[in-house]
Amino acid sequence: MGKLTARERIQGIVDEGSFHEYDMFVEHQSKDFGMDKKIFHGDGVIIGTGTIYGEPVAIYAQDFTVAGGSLGLMHARKITKIMDHAMKMRMPIIGINDSGGARIQEGVDSLAGYGEIFLRNTQASGVIPQLSIILGPCAGGAVYSPALTDFVFVVDNISKMFITGPEVVKTVLGEVVTMEELGGARVHAAISGNAHFFAMTEQECFEQIKQLLTFIPWNNQRKARSFPAKPPKPEYKINNILPADPTQPYDVRDIVKAVADDSEFMEVQQDFAPNIVVGFGRIDGETVGFVANQPLVLAGVLDCDSSDKAGRFIRFCDAFNIPIVTFEDMPGYLPGVEQEHMGVIRHGAKVLYAYSEATVPKITVILRKAYGGGYIAMNSRHLKADFMFAWPTAEIAVMGPEGAANIIFKKEITESTNPEETRKQKVAEYREKFANPYVAASKGYIDSVIEPEETRMLLKHSIEISGNKTVMVPQKKHGIPPF
């Protein structure tokens, strides 16, 4: 299946027959380079409003068949008009990007147009949900509008995003690369992390958009819609997922599905930094955002990418009144020169910042390992988690028993007649003492040690009693998160 037209795309997203187009007769005012003799109908972009599930949305779609969807001043003015409308009416804005880039004949006016869009993306951030769909090229400055929005959708073989295209990359840097390798859908879904949802066809992409809109509210003054509660599917048995040995992997998404209504879990950035899992589901009919370490990939460590991914998701949930449920099982931060030089300190700090800043209900369930900085970062009591649960398998300690014993009992081990035997003994001693949830529970850092099968019930209870959660935050213009 190939590319649909701009109009077909809009029809594919909004409720049937609900779309109303604005500014159909707008034309460019440009006179240079023979532009006065050219007419671009609607100036290459369709804007308007419609409904999804009967609720209003604003939408625009760049039309590649008109002047390559190039962005001139009037084209941009149409986009900013519908964005202003969306902001005023507090409804989501959906932007379909399919454009060759700036309309060079219009010079600086075209750049002005981009700037006016970026400004509005930023102002609308955290007020109304902003969705960007990349259904064609989106190159140069144009990429920064999607980058400023909340969710970016890409489609295999259709979406292309880059700051500088393959030709320039070749001329300037001597690097030979195809458009697909440089900025195709798979690249942004798995490597760069610029995209949040990947689909094989445009049709599948539209279904993803509609599914996402069942989970998120229409603006920051509202809560997401409630649905009738459904039990998880019986094939996800919460007692059978977690291996007791803390070095053994499993798929943490099975645990999410074992507590979520109908086992429905809409994962965000599925292929990017898969060592952390984030996404939306429901508990007893109410949307929650799940954040879970994934032992299946890189042992579930926090690193630059996974911290960035989790931090951003948490901030979205917080901005849009979505309670956050955290499942924790992680051995710490990823060691290595590469990570340190990439700035794992400042990236890792994003998780701390996002959890600390969030005032929505925050619930943590420690499944197994909660070591060191990771324990603090993953929505600990110390960052004002509202509810801290731990399974009996939880191990809460400064580091894993092996590493800890090697440090604490270094002298005893080296001076022993049988160092290896002593080491094993000391590891066991440390594990016995700290590799459990009861030390933390004795200090009130954990509220309850719970059986896995109680998890869903307690999540439901926690969310119910948090309905009127009120937190006073000090007056400030804005914080300064570790970007």
Partner 1 sequence: MGNTKYEKLQIDGVDYKTTFTDKWRNRKNWETPDPKLVEAYLPGTIVNVNVKEGQKIRENDLLLVLQAMKMDNKITSPVDGKVKAIHVKKGDQIPKGTVMIELE
The HSE-up count of residue 249 (CA atoms within 13 Å, CB side) is: 10
Q: What is the largest CA-CA distance in the chain?
A: 94
Residues lying near partner 1 in the complex (CB under 8 A): 172-175, 190-191, 246-249, 251, 273-275, 295-301, 305, 331-332, 334-338, 341, 371, 399-400, 402-404, 406
DSSP string, 396-437: EESS-HHHHHHHHTHHHHHHSSSHHHHHHHHHHHHHHHHSSS
Taking residue 150's Cβ as centre, other Cβ atoms within 10 Å add up to: 25
**Shortest spacing between CB 400 and partner 1, in angstroms:** 5
Determine how β-strand 20-22 pairs with β-strand 45-52.
antiparallel
Q: Toward partner 1, which CB reaches closer, 116 or 402?
A: 402
Taking residue 313's Cβ as centre, other Cβ atoms within 10 Å add up to: 25
3-state secondary structure of 172: helix
Is the separation of the CB atoms in 54 and 91 below 8 Å? no
Q: Toward partner 1, which CB reaches closer, 64 or 250?
A: 250
3-state secondary structure of 268: strand
Taking residue 9's Cβ as centre, other Cβ atoms within 10 Å add up to: 24
Q: Toward partner 1, which CB reaches closer, 134 or 405?
A: 405
**Shortest spacing between CB 425 and partner 1, in angstroms:** 16
**Shortest spacing between CB 408 and partner 1, in angstroms:** 13
CB proximity list for 469: less than 8 A, separation 6 or greater: 359, 360, 361, 386
Q: Toward partner 1, which CB reaches closer, 7 or 170?
A: 170
Q: Toward partner 1, which CB reaches closer, 14 or 366?
A: 366
**Shortest spacing between CB 356 and partner 1, in angstroms:** 25
Buried b or exposed e, range 326-362, using 16+ CB within 10 angstroms = bbbbbbbbbeeeebeeeebeebbbbbbbbbbbbebbb
**Shortest spacing between CB 272 and partner 1, in angstroms:** 9
d(CA 456, CA 307): 26
Q: Toward partner 1, which CB reaches closer, 87 or 190?
A: 190
Q: Toward partner 1, which CB reaches closer, 340 or 453?
A: 340
**Shortest spacing between CB 166 and partner 1, in angstroms:** 15
Taking residue 1's Cβ as centre, other Cβ atoms within 10 Å add up to: 11
d(CA 280, CA 218): 15
The HSE-up count of residue 293 (CA atoms within 13 Å, CB side) is: 31
**Shortest spacing between CB 355 and partner 1, in angstroms:** 22
**Shortest spacing between CB 368 and partner 1, in angstroms:** 11
Q: Toward partner 1, which CB reaches closer, 298 or 396?
A: 298
